[in-house]
Chains A and B, each alone.
Chain A
Amino acid sequence: METVTEAPVQSPSLVRRMVIGRNPKRTMQRVVILVVVCFVIAKFVLLPIQISGPSMLPTYGEHGVNFVNRLAYLFHEPRRGDVVAIRLAGPSIMFMKRIIGLPGETVAFHEGHVYIDGNLLDEPYVKFPSSWEHEPRTLGPCEYYVVGDNRSMPQIDHSEGKASRDRIVGKVLL
């Protein structure tokens, strides 16, 4: 009587199973989907940014990494106190600033303090002393006044001023 022995089924090695799984085709599909999702999120939803420069100290340190939420202002307009990213010609390099003045308001600096429509603005995020002075400036209907938290810098070296709404790319996430 002849006996037939079944050939042992070659199961994929543990390393191979861990790297590409039991079903390589399905793993490939998952990888493609993951890459596409990451690309779409990084391009259109959460822009990864690296912080450069001291103007947002001490709230945000230099060379830190953060994200800009591009959908933050989909259902409401930017608010006072929001830290936002402001584009230059495009999103490759952006200014990271805090909104202190809203459209239509008048913003002034006196002895380092901010006055909105003549009223002192409470700014708990400003930790360094400042002596900035600037005459009142009234914002247009689509303009926001933005400034960094580090007011110990000379005002001339600090990029601050009016930003039009279309320049605000989104809100800094963390």
Chain B
Amino acid sequence: MKWAFRGALAIIIIALAVWIWVTLFPGPEQAIRKRLAELAQLGSFAGNEGQLAKGLNAQKLATFFTPDVEISVDVPGVPRQKISGQDELLKAGMAVRTYLSSLKVDLLDINITFGPGKETAIVNLTLKVQINGEKEFTPQEMKFALKKVKGEWLIREAETVRTLSRLLNEKREISHRVGSA
């Protein structure tokens, strides 16, 4: 019984030490996951968000992206949309916060692939969006290209992924660039 207790205690101590180490010195993967969790939190807003908070949060959200960010949204039923640069992104963010009463963003199934030197990364994830407090949600597969700038992971490209393709030879632009990242 004694050895079992000692063994359990040792496992708990090791797990605690690993957790403390990872929290204090996160690896690139943990850093990206933390960054994306913050992004989802900032992207979400409740109905009672004030005008000042709207502006501040939209500005803060824009800092998660590089100044030359390219965002491409291609979903069925909507013309292809492209956002280029932080300023355009900020305007789009403000428009969303103005027209929608609330938004809940979740980033699920985050898969990270690092480029050489771990200075760039490609993230494949599922975006879950709930608008105006509705129970129904819209899932969308996304691909992000991230770049480490002054120790911070910033999104330099984002695009929607067609999980079920309708075209004959659909291109996946970001995944094509994984090799050169």
State yes or no: do A and B come from one complex: yes
Does the CB pair B164–A90 fall under 8 Å?
A: no
B166 within 8 A of partner (CB): yes
A160 to B: closest C-beta gap in Å: 6
Count the A-B residue pairs with Cβ separation under 8 angstroms: how many? 61
- Grouping DSSP codes into helix (H, G, I), strand (E, B) and loop, the B interface class, with mixed when no group exceeds half, is strand
> Looking at B141, B163, B166, which has the most chain A CB atoms within 10 Å of its CB?
B163
Please measure, in the bound complex, the distance between the C-alpha atom of A134 and the C-alpha atom of B168, giving whole angstroms: 12
Does the CB pair B108–A89 fall under 8 Å?
A: yes
B147 to A: closest C-beta gap in Å: 20
Closest A residue to B76 by beta carbon equals: A156
Does the CB pair B108–A167 fall under 8 Å?
A: no
> A161 is contacted by which of B111, B137, B142, B164 (Cβ under 8 Å)?
B164
User: Residues 70-104 of chain A: 1 if any B CB is under 8 Å from the residue's CB, otherwise 0?
Assistant: 00000000000000001111111101010000000
B124 within 8 A of partner (CB): yes
Residues 143-181 of B at the A interface (beta carbon under 8 Å): 162-166, 168
Closest A residue to B141 by beta carbon equals: A88
Task: Point out the residues of chain A lying under 8 angstroms from B76, CB to CB.
Answer: 156-157, 159
Residues 48-79 of A at the B interface (beta carbon under 8 Å): 52-53
Size range of the chain B interface in the assembly: 20 to 34
B8 to A: closest C-beta gap in Å: 13
Closest B residue to A63 by beta carbon equals: B135
Residues 30-49 of B at the A interface (beta carbon under 8 Å): none
Q: List 18 A-B contacts (CB under 8 A).
A: A53-B136, A88-B109, A89-B108, A89-B125, A89-B141, A90-B108, A90-B109, A92-B126, A93-B109, A93-B126, A93-B128, A95-B164, A97-B164, A137-B166, A156-B77, A159-B164, A160-B166, A162-B166
Chain B residues with a Cβ under 8 A of chain A: 76-77, 108-111, 124-126, 128, 136-137, 139-142, 162-166, 168
